[in-house]
Amino acid sequence: MVVEVDERAVALGQAFFDPLIGRAVELLASYDERELAAVRGFLAGVREVAATADRPPARH
């Protein structure tokens, strides 16, 4: 099976996400290294939670 993306869908995605991505990049450029490390840590944690969402929580 081959899935092809319609050009209208690409245009719609770009119209929505390009400004959002540009503003997010501008925002991140204003963060110092300590702040960026905190953001990275948070995103890594969310990624881990999402990857293990179907597993029961570990007991500590």
Closest C-alpha to 43, from 55, 31, 60: 31
Tokens matching residue 2:
């081959």
CA distance 58 to 45: 15
With H, G, I as helix, E, B as strand and everything else as coil, classify residue 31: coil
Q: Give the pLDDT mean for 1-22.
A: 94
Write the pLDDT tens digit of every residue in 13-60: 999 999 999 999 999 999 999 999 999 999 999 999 999 888 776 777
